[in-house]
Amino acid sequence: MISIKNLHKRFGKLEVLKNIDLSINTGKITAIVGPNGSGKTTLIKCILGLVKPDAGEIRVGDTRLNGHWSYRKDIGFMPQTARFPDNLTGKELLHMIKDLRDMKNGFDEEIIEAYNLTDELNKPVRNLSGGTRQKLNAALAFLFSPPILILDEPTAGLDPVSSSALKDKIMKEKDNGKTIILTSHIMSEVQELADTIVILLEGKKFFDGPITEITNGSGNTTLERAVAQIMKDAQL
């Protein structure tokens, strides 16, 4: 489980995160949503240790984040836009990441097989299409079978077949007891995958609870319309 208490972050005069409290549970998919500038990316970077909060506490399992990096071995991260060394082939990139992480356990290459990436991995990354790079991005996130997965707009740039395959993998990992954080602007995707939704607005937590609580409580049949109504009401 990931526990976040009283988290604050400011960049200059701009307060990006304002007293965030969250509990992200094991075996569940938690979606973090909100408009651009709401603090989603900063929150994820704080969990990854890429941004240091000004105040508050983050615990990943039993580890309190305090500058140490070893806990990251338990996290698979799929950024929205991955930037790989263009001169490497996909196969060389996979081997490099394996060597860097120095983990002797078996590797989860199910995504590579599902996407038929074997031939594509022999090409330099610069010659891969955007969709294929996103498939490689997904393969790297799941490669080490980490107990925690952070997926930032994971289906962006994927065709419907590839998107469906990735969603199947995400649900399988949930059933395997993984802790999964998902961000997406596609509310139908969030409704399909997530158990819990966290809505951030202007750096504040506006809602944190089951998706059914939003849809049932708002009278809207779709999550997209329910979230849109919440955001409109918050701006009044």
Distances (CA, A) of 130 to 107, 115, 123, 217: 24, 14, 14, 39
What per-residue confidence (pLDDT) applies to 232? 78
Tokens of 35: 């408009």
Q: Which domains does the chain have, with CATH numbers?
A: 2-235 (3.40.50.300)
From edge to edge, which strands make up the β-sheet containing 55-60? 14-24, 2-11, 55-60, 63-64
What per-residue confidence (pLDDT) applies to 190? 94
What per-residue confidence (pLDDT) applies to 104? 67
What per-residue confidence (pLDDT) applies to 227? 85
Residuewise pLDDT in 10s, the chain (236 residues): 899 999 999 999 999 999 999 999 999 999 999 988 899 999 999 999 999 999 999 999 888 888 778 888 899 999 988 889 989 999 999 989 888 887 766 789 899 999 999 889 999 999 999 999 999 999 999 999 999 999 999 999 899 999 999 999 999 999 999 999 999 989 999 999 999 999 999 999 999 999 888 877 666 778 888 888 888 777 65
What per-residue confidence (pLDDT) applies to 218? 65
